[in-house]
Structure 1
Amino acid sequence: MATIHVGSTSERSVTGIIRRRPLVSFFVLALGLSWVAWTPWILSNDGLGVWDYAFPQIFGTSQFTGMLFGAYLGPLGAAFVVTAVTGGRAGLRVWVGRLLRWRVAPRWYAVALLAVPLAVLSFGFLASGGQAQAPSLIAIALYVPALLLQMLTTGLAEEPGWRDFALPPLQERFGPLGAAAILGPLWGIWHLPLFLTEWGSWPDVTWLNVVEFVAFSALFNVVIMWLFNRSGQSLPIVMLFHVSLNNTVTVFWAEMFPTVGGDQLQHVLLIGAAAAAVVTIALTRGRLGLPASSPVMGHRAPEAAKIAA
């Protein structure tokens, strides 16, 4: 009688699955944990209204109490768990090391802090037909505090997962463009349940809004990847670049371009991201800042240090 061999208990355990499929495990956990944690908020009066309950508001929004925990639990939590299981303490040191990589050339701070705001405001000026207003002193004063808050919320919740954990092995396996084709859309899809809440302006949301957002995420990710690679995989730089977009739109857009509404804003962001992605791909010949001699930047700290110098 033939003997049937089955996998050991350890191989069939959760940790065994994570060790065999770390990237798949990360994406499943990142999406699943966030979506489960967001469910009460989605079902509350801040979303679908199935439950007669509203989350407490902070600064005039329930996003801090309804969304933030799930945002941390997903990408950040999944990256921590998978890294701890597959790499142990050594892996966690590498992962955290990129998060603490502040010492990079000043030009990358200039890019992270200025490039997106200048691009967004320029496109806003064009979209409004030149009907722009100067921001108020209150908006100007709030910009830096709001940016720091965005760093501790959006930046810290998302970037240690999407770019710090997932991007290096994706680039190693699929190359820069292949990694972009996988990571960008998944990053956008992670946000989808939020369209059923006040974050997504529910119920005033259409399928076009959703599709445009996912497309924007995929295209904006291309530029973020370039900055990640060229800055020596500095997470602070990537976080600043990411949240500079959120902050500019939140603080300045409505005041400066009152004639350009939410749907038009999304069109503007999509067109701007598409233009930036095309230019980035063309100028880097598809390498997105990844040196031709270093296909695995995430595992070559000395070369990354040279790039950041």
Structure 2
Amino acid sequence: MGKASLQYTELASIWGFFGLSFLFSWAVWGAMLALSLPADLMLPLLILGAFGPTFAAVYLMHRYGNAANIRDFWTRVISFKKIGWEWYLVILSIFPAIYLLGYYIYSYFGGEQPPVASLFSGLDSFSAILLFAFVMIFAGPVSEELGWRGYVLDPLQQKYGSAGGSLILGIFWILWHLPLFFIEGTSQHAKGFGYQFWSWSFQLIMLSFVFTWIYNNTNRSILGAILLHLMANLAYPTNLEPTGELIFTAIRVLVVLAIVWAWKQKSVIRQDLAAA
């Protein structure tokens, strides 16, 4: 990490960030639960509530950061150069690869991959395509990643290490989503609190480790995290039976173990070099 990032982690308040993120998001989503609102306000409010992490990060950065911190932050949001071409390949392929591998294994247990056409159902007009693109980009990737990876991941890693920071962030990521499980019409509400909830929760833990791994290898690129979040949403398997959920969970466990092993190998190499 460069000088700007070290200064940044010193000013970062981990718990203040989480507090502001939860306060904003839960207030908006709580209002949706408590008030009788017109149906056409539901989607805008869902997206607005999702901006809690990003709003908290931008506020804290501009409130407490210096010029170098702020410049570093926004450069990481917009710079394509921070991400090497090989990492673009990883970002664009890792979740589709997990998706295809999971369904390939699932097919041996009687499961079927949804037809490609079903992924684009309802996108039969230009306005529908624009709305879909807007939701996919802003309801998650942009609304969350300036906060999760762009702001709080650095101090979490500095204090708890890459694995510990990823695990803590993953747990808070799960908790932050909880109000959505009570709002009808959301994908979380459709899952409920049965086996799909636990599979989805582990998906977020796995995502947290993958995001940290790629973030650390793309010069702390927030843009890379945004693109990765988009790919994770596009390639998320839905409506799985328990067997399918178990298969995808097993694959995610292997992914996390592989990443942690890679971190340990890198740590050993660094120690050997230091001793040489």
| Fold shared per TM-score above 0.5 | yes
Amino acid at match of 2:176: W
**1:34 has 2:25 as partner:** yes
Amino acid at match of 2:157: Q
Secondary structure of the corresponding residue to residue 285 of structure 1: helix
Structure 1: give runs of 5+ residues left out of the alignment.
Answer: 1-18, 44-50, 255-259, 294-309
Amino acid at match of 1:86: Y
Q: Deviations over 1:173-227 (max 9, x none)?
A: 2211221221111111111111111214537612544344333212221111000
**Aligned residue among 258, 268, 282 for 2:261:** 282
**Aligned residue among 173, 178, 184 for 2:170:** 184
- Determine the C-alpha separation between the residues in 1 that align with 2:195 and 2:21: 25
Amino acid at match of 1:35: W
Amino acid at match of 1:100: I
Cα 1:99/1:30, change in 2 over 3 Å? same
> For residues 138-177 of structure 1, what are the structure 2 equivalents within 5 Å?
139=120, 146=132, 149-177=135-163
Cα 1:282/1:92, change in 2 over 3 Å? same
Match of 1:206 in 2: 193
How far off its partner does 1:95 sit?
Answer: 1.4
Q: Which has the larger radius of gyration?
A: 1
**Aligned residue among 78, 99, 114 for 2:56:** 78
Match of 1:114 in 2: 93
* Identity across matched positions, percent: 21
> For residues 248-263 of structure 1, what are the structure 2 equivalents within 5 Å?
248-249=235-236, 261=240
Cα 1:236/1:114, change in 2 over 3 Å? same
How far off its partner does 1:279 sit?
Answer: 1.0
Cα 1:90/1:133, change in 2 over 3 Å? closer
Match of 1:135 in 2: 116
Amino acid at match of 1:87: G
Amino acid at match of 1:161: G
How far off its partner does 1:25 sit?
Answer: 0.5
**1:126 has 2:105 as partner:** yes
Structure 2: give runs of 5+ residues left out of the alignment.
Answer: 1-9, 124-128, 272-276
Cα 1:42/1:285, change in 2 over 3 Å? same
Cα 1:38/1:170, change in 2 over 3 Å? same
How far off its partner does 1:268 sit?
Answer: 4.5
Cα 1:276/1:203, change in 2 over 3 Å? closer
**1:234 has 2:221 as partner:** yes
- Determine the C-alpha separation between the residues in 1 that align with 2:189 and 2:53: 24
- Determine the C-alpha separation between the residues in 2 that align with 1:131 and 1:203: 20
Amino acid at match of 1:91: N
Secondary structure of the corresponding residue to residue 216 of structure 2: helix
Cα 1:193/1:96, change in 2 over 3 Å? same
- Determine the C-alpha separation between the residues in 2 that align with 1:76 and 1:168: 15
Number of equivalences? 251
User: What's the TM-score once normalised by structure 1's chain length?
Assistant: 0.70
Secondary structure of the corresponding residue to residue 185 of structure 1: helix
Secondary structure of the corresponding residue to residue 232 of structure 1: coil
Q: Deviations over 1:107-153 (max 9, x none)?
A: 1111111121121122023223364464129839x7x9756752333
Match of 1:307 in 2: none
Higher RCO (CA < 8 A, seq sep 6+): 2
**1:100 has 2:78 as partner:** yes
How far off its partner does 1:171 sit?
Answer: 1.2
Match of 1:56 in 2: 40
User: What's the TM-score once normalised by structure 2's chain length?
Assistant: 0.78
Cα 1:168/1:126, change in 2 over 3 Å? same
The structure richer in helix per residue is 2
How far off its partner does 1:269 sit?
Answer: 4.1
